[in-house]
Structure 1
C-alpha cells in the first residue's frame, strides 16, 4: 500500500498544478521568451537588494509592451493570481517581494525616455528608466535628476516612485 503524501509533497503538487495553469494562460498573451517558470530561471527573482527575505515566484513575466502588461494583468486577475511588479531589483525595503503562488512582472524592459521638457522641467519616462539615464538626458538642458547619487547607475524611476526611494 502506498503511503499518503506528506504535507510538503501535497503543497509541491498544488504549486506545480497551479504553475502549469498560470503558464498555460500566460502563453497566449506574451511571447515564449518573456515567460519564465523553470526553477533555474526564477531563482534570480526570489529577492531584490533585500536578500534576507526570499520567495521563489510561481512565474516571472517580462512584458515588452503596454498591451502585454494589460493582458498579463487581465489574465492573472481572471485566475485570481497575485502580481508583484519588479524593476531593477535594487530595492532594500522588500516592496517587490515575490508571492509564492503569484506572478512577478519585471518592468525592466520599459526603459525609454519618452520626453524631456526643459521649459516645464518635466520628463515623461517609462518605469524601467535608470536614474542616471534621466540625469544624462536632462543635462544638455542644464537640469539634473537628483535622487541619491550613489545609486543612480542601477536604480530606476519606477522604484523611486513606488517605494519613495532614492535618498533625501
Structure 2
C-alpha cells in the first residue's frame, strides 16, 4: 500500500507569487499563479482519472475516443473526424485506434468513398468497457471533483473563455 503524500505547511504557488512580487514582477504574478495553479490542478485531476481507468486498461485519450464513437449515431466515424473532434494530431488518433483495435474494442475499415481514409467503429466489447469506465469515472472523479456546483460552473465558464480566446473553438 502506498503512503499518501504529506500536506505542505504552505501553498508553494502562493509562496512563488510572493517571490514574483518581491522580485519586481508584480504585473506577471497573478498570471504566473493562475497558470501554475491550472497546471497543478491538471496533474491532480489526471492522477484521479488514471486511477479510475486503470482497471479497464485504457488511457483517458482512448476512453474519449470510445465515448466519441458511443455518442455517434452509427457507432462509427472517419479517423479524420475523430482527430478534429478530439482536437488531436492524426498520429495520436492512429496510435489510439491501433491500441483499441488490438484490444478488440474498435474495428477499422476502409472508407467506402476514399480508399486512403479509414472508418473506425466501436465493438460491443468497446461499448461495454466504455459504459463501465464511465460509471467508474462518474463515481470516482466527475461526481465529486472537490468543488461546489457553483464553483464548477464558474470554473467551466472561466476556462471556456480562456480556451475561446486561444482559438480553441
TM-score of the superposed pair, with normalisation by structure 2: 0.32
More helix by share: 2
TM-score of the superposed pair, with normalisation by structure 1: 0.32
